[in-house]
A and B are shown apart, each in its own frame.
Chain A
């Protein structure tokens, strides 16, 4: 057993070193190619204002000027165009485009339907990817015959992401913004890596790409890259692709169970390719109760859009993996230990970190066509997807911890509003499970509380001390007070038997 492990480990280590060396060479090559290419592209654009390059279907693309009326038939293109600040040029999308939320409300077009629908909308550019031209071989020709430019782009590897973004920016006139975004993107990834690489006790992770046959990902895939950035040890690092060029790699229950003791964290990808699991559904698979991550409750479901899709949101996916692996390091609360009056923005961040909540994001393309009770993801007028705290705010609202308002038919969060004692009490009550209780004394201002039941219960559990018999529901809190109340609630939760 030990010997097998040593041999395996030796072999895996060898492969890892080799992969590392090769990817290093490849990366440096790729970077060089990208730099040369970017220089060329920019030159071409500035020299005679003509845009010219070869797309990922191998077709020579020439545009006199950046496109103004774009139909995007791939969700990642849509998302990246919004990031590049040219979302207003998009006149139509494929129905899988649901991020940012505004994209979900654009006219929808389908590459499988009659191309006349697209032609009738009069776009000057249709963005596709090689998957679409392979699936509908006549599409490009039909659209081009109608005088519509078609550009097919898809980065096969994270190493050519920058190249892909630059081409997308070139055809839409957003090259300057692209450079700034790419710089920030790499800086964000570097920051995550810098935080995790110094951690000595490295955690091991299994990444489930599809529930079917329990497949994982290849070493050159985006999730594997995210694991690397996040400082994790990928227990399935040596898995071979299901077919050349694919990022999906067969693995199977048997091999997972062989590694049961080694898997600290189990991540399941949810999206179009995979239904994803949850702690319950994964733990009831035969034999899976022996996996360390399942015993420790460290099972996470991640939206494929933030981990496997070539968008700027990938850094969020990498950051999530790092949070799953090293919650205490990644969710450090020390910056909030101040007397600064807390805002609802701070509250969202502190809750997210204190309870290590996975960030919320939707993966269902029908999300915006369904009825929802409560807040609809991405629709806050005052904290949209460009807000730096978008994820924290959406997560705590989607879980019902923090309230929001409806003003002039628009959903608003009021991120700069102060945090009151009662606001925090409600968040704590929903986040954790407290047995209903009444204190043996009177809370003299209970009538002023919006939710007397919650206040009574938390006071009875000695979580909120009274001041002269009063709870003071409207009392504003500081960041440090929020951190301390939450830590106290967590400790009580761990000591109270939950039925």
Chain B
């Protein structure tokens, strides 16, 4: 009798273990097989702005792709190191993120950079991902913010809506600028603003062309009373705080004030805008489904 109950108990236990482990295995398989979107950003050490820009972009992407797990990577090692030492916040660089995805058994991966243009950061990202390509059944990379002609016009609509200007006000957008040939993005955006009939928005860069002198000339032609300064960057971080809105002689705020304009710097990154999130989502759709309409090829 005792033996019988022991046998029964063992059998139940065995069945239980088998059942549980099969559930666990299938859960693990499911986790491993769950496709991942890796959102790659330059990064920022400014915590508050990171949440409302990069964080908000990631959340919007997660909401648009519920079947995907969304992960984060930064390209700036300086920022990654700083966040680890200062805030004990561990963020992967691209290589670490790729190694982790492989270790987790992920087979379907879409990468979306939050870079503004197809510049050096984007080239580096593609090069860094390349060696891992064979480890995935499917690996696609979405285009940066300003890639197609339509992207430019879409961004112009977003900016026009997010930064209303009154009579006598001019909006100056400060981009980063680069030695990479993709710097042509900035004057192209300026050209297309004018083509769209928007004459009170001017595009400049901190480190390249159009530089501040070019911007000053264009602003002077409009003879505004007030200049609104805003970053043409995903994050309103160090450049926006110092080069744009800082108190030194060479900040754009001081330069415009010295010309007698009332100046209002706005510390909002492009990553805060829903319209920008939607552009990244479109780029992901194109990368994943070959069209910007989600899943139309599959349906």
Chains A and B come from one and the same complex: yes
A135: Cβ under 8 A from any B Cβ: no
Chain B proximity of A496: nearest CB distance (Å): 12
A429 x B86 contact (CB < 8 A): no
A399 x B86 contact (CB < 8 A): no
Chain A proximity of B90: nearest CB distance (Å): 15
B168: Cβ under 8 A from any A Cβ: yes
- Known interface pairs A284-B48, A374-B250, A457-B262; A429-B257 also in contact (CB < 8 Å): yes
A430: Cβ under 8 A from any B Cβ: yes
The one of B226, B241, B248, B263 that contacts A399, using a Cβ cutoff of 8 Å: B248
A211 x B86 contact (CB < 8 A): yes
A436 to B241, CA, bound (A): 23
A453 x B249 contact (CB < 8 A): no
A430 to B254, CA, bound (A): 7
Number of interface residues of A (CB under 8 A): 31
The one of A278, A373, A398, A434 that contacts B212, using a Cβ cutoff of 8 Å: A373
B194: Cβ under 8 A from any A Cβ: no
A138: Cβ under 8 A from any B Cβ: no
In the complex, residue of chain A having the shortest beta-carbon distance to the beta carbon of B260: A453
B261: Cβ under 8 A from any A Cβ: yes
B149: Cβ under 8 A from any A Cβ: no
How many A-B residue pairs lie within 8 Å, measured between CB atoms? 62
Chain A proximity of B263: nearest CB distance (Å): 8
Which B residues are CB-close (under 8 A) to A433? Answer: 262-263
A457 x B260 contact (CB < 8 A): yes
A454 x B262 contact (CB < 8 A): no
In the complex, residue of chain A having the shortest beta-carbon distance to the beta carbon of B266: A499
Please provide the chain A residues from 246 to 305 with a CB less than 8 Å away from any CB of chain B in the complex. Answer: 275, 278, 280-281, 284-286
B262 x A430 contact (CB < 8 A): no
Chain A proximity of B298: nearest CB distance (Å): 43
Chain A proximity of B46: nearest CB distance (Å): 6
- Known interface pairs A212-B85, A430-B257; A280-B241 also in contact (CB < 8 Å): yes
Which B residues are CB-close (under 8 A) to A434? Answer: 262
- Known interface pairs A430-B257, A451-B259, A453-B259; A372-B250 also in contact (CB < 8 Å): yes
B225: Cβ under 8 A from any A Cβ: yes
B46 x A435 contact (CB < 8 A): no
A374 to B254, CA, bound (A): 11
A308 to B156, CA, bound (A): 50
A375: Cβ under 8 A from any B Cβ: yes
In the complex, residue of chain A having the shortest beta-carbon distance to the beta carbon of B262: A436
Chain A proximity of B5: nearest CB distance (Å): 56
Which B residues are CB-close (under 8 A) to A430? Answer: 254, 257-258
A373 x B250 contact (CB < 8 A): yes
Please provide the chain B residues from 42 to 57 with a CB less than 8 Å away from any CB of chain A in the complex. Answer: 45-48
Chain A proximity of B79: nearest CB distance (Å): 11
Which B residues are CB-close (under 8 A) to A212? Answer: 85-86
A400 to B255, CA, bound (A): 8
B86 x A400 contact (CB < 8 A): no
The one of B85, B249, B264 that contacts A398, using a Cβ cutoff of 8 Å: B249
In the complex, residue of chain B having the shortest beta-carbon distance to the beta carbon of A375: B249
The one of A213, A398, A499 that contacts B248, using a Cβ cutoff of 8 Å: A398
A296 to B262, CA, bound (A): 26
Which A residues are CB-close (under 8 A) to B96? Answer: none
In the complex, residue of chain A having the shortest beta-carbon distance to the beta carbon of B257: A430
A426 to B259, CA, bound (A): 9
Which A residues are CB-close (under 8 A) to B225? Answer: 436, 453
Which A residues are CB-close (under 8 A) to B86? Answer: 211-212
Chain B proximity of A422: nearest CB distance (Å): 11
A452: Cβ under 8 A from any B Cβ: yes
B247: Cβ under 8 A from any A Cβ: yes
Which A residues are CB-close (under 8 A) to B264? Answer: 499
Which B residues are CB-close (under 8 A) to A375? Answer: 249
Which A residues are CB-close (under 8 A) to B47? Answer: 284-286
In the complex, residue of chain A having the shortest beta-carbon distance to the beta carbon of B168: A436
Chain B proximity of A243: nearest CB distance (Å): 18
A398 to B264, CA, bound (A): 20
Chain A proximity of B214: nearest CB distance (Å): 13
Chain B proximity of A71: nearest CB distance (Å): 32
A278 to B82, CA, bound (A): 16
**Among B226, B248, B260, residue most surrounded by chain A Cβ atoms (within 10 Å):** B260
B260 x A374 contact (CB < 8 A): no
Please provide the chain A residues from 193 to 218 with a CB less than 8 Å away from any CB of chain B in the complex. Answer: 211-213
Chain B proximity of A281: nearest CB distance (Å): 6
Chain B proximity of A129: nearest CB distance (Å): 26
- Known interface pairs A281-B46, A373-B212, A429-B257; A435-B250 also in contact (CB < 8 Å): no
B contact set with A: CB distance below 8 Å: 45-48, 82, 85-86, 168, 212, 225-226, 241, 247-250, 254-255, 257-264
Can you name 28 A-B residue pairings with CB atoms under 8 Å?
A: A212-B85, A280-B241, A281-B45, A284-B48, A285-B47, A286-B47, A372-B250, A373-B249, A374-B250, A397-B249, A399-B247, A400-B248, A400-B250, A400-B254, A400-B255, A400-B257, A429-B260, A433-B263, A435-B262, A436-B168, A436-B225, A451-B260, A452-B260, A453-B225, A453-B259, A453-B260, A453-B261, A454-B260
A contact set with B: CB distance below 8 Å: 211-213, 275, 278, 280-281, 284-286, 372-375, 397-400, 426, 429-430, 433-436, 451-454, 457, 499
The 3 closest A-B pairs by CB, nearest first: A453-B260, A400-B249, A436-B225
What would 12 more interface pairs be, CB under 8 Å, given A213-B85, A281-B46? Answer: A212-B86, A278-B241, A399-B249, A399-B254, A400-B248, A426-B258, A433-B263, A436-B168, A451-B259, A452-B260, A453-B225, A453-B260
